[in-house]
Amino acid sequence: MLELSLSGDMLLLLFSVGLVAGLIDAMAGGGGLITLPVLLSLGIGPVEALATNKLQGAFGTFSASLYFVRKKLVQLRSVRWLIACTFVGAAAGTLLVAYVDSSFLTRLIPLLLIVTALYFWLSPRIKEENKKRKISYPLFALVIGFGVGFYDGFFGPGAGSFFAAGFVLLFGFDLIQATAHTKILNFTSNIASLLFFSLGGHVVWSLGLVMAVGQLIGARLGARLVIRRGSRLIRPMIVLVSLAISFKLLLGESSSLFG
């Protein structure tokens, strides 16, 4: 099990990254676009970075989920099959990571980050209005629950936005409903992945737990802002940060973003 010694500056950096990512993720999704590249920049392997990202992300999604449930924006009984399909999909994606060569992941992750960032930039803006449901609940659970859950287990960043887009475009939810339900599924996929990554000894607990503290606080603040203001200002930040860090990883200029 890999562990790193952390200086005071590193602790502050990791906490701050978790805080900002939790805030962004609760509002717009895509917090992993910030946390995963930062973890990779610390010199840990790609599987360890993915595993540790799930640890800190689980705290943030739990914080936001609890807030939305308490505000009665989500009825857990009504989405139990969605939760089950998401858990199975995330577990399957996580198990696949364990069998993929780490050098392949090192090359693949920056490319996936760029593709996901371009999705944020080019995809049409989600309108805050209810629409008619386009597919049945079982099909939605299979396509969105299992499908996005699998992606979240295998890679992760941007999964929240894919969940939210599915709820709005296919299930007729408004933006606030979609965001609230997305956090439940995000938490489910994070827990499923964390379970299997932990069994494999891939989680760097010292890094993840520091970031988790920031995630708890940031996600709670972001969940409140969802109801008050929405997520219009977040997308450009995600795009710029993820593209800049992805290109840095591809060029291999340095093992540290802040050194």
DSSP assignment string, 139-154: HHIIIIIIHHHHHHHH
Residue-wise pLDDT for 209-259, tens only, equals: 999 999 999 999 988 887 776 555 555 655 665 666 566 656 654 444 344
Kindly state the tokens that stand for 47: 């599987």
Structural domain includes residue 3: no
Sequence-ordered list of residues with C-beta below 8 angstroms from that of 115, at least 6 positions apart, any chain = none
Task: Quote the tokens at residue 101.
Answer: 């060569």
Which range is least confidently modeled, 3-7, 148-152, 232-236?
232-236
Domain count, the chain: 1
Please check the confidence at residue 116 and state whether its pLDDT lies above 80. no
Is 40 a domain residue?
yes
Question: What is the Cα–Cα distance from 137 to 208, expressed in whole angstroms?
Answer: 35
CA distance 190 to 105: 19
**82 within domain boundaries:** yes
Higher pLDDT: 255 or 56? It is: 56
Task: Give the residue numbers spanning the domain of 81.
Answer: 9-251
> Does residue 1 lie in a domain region?
no
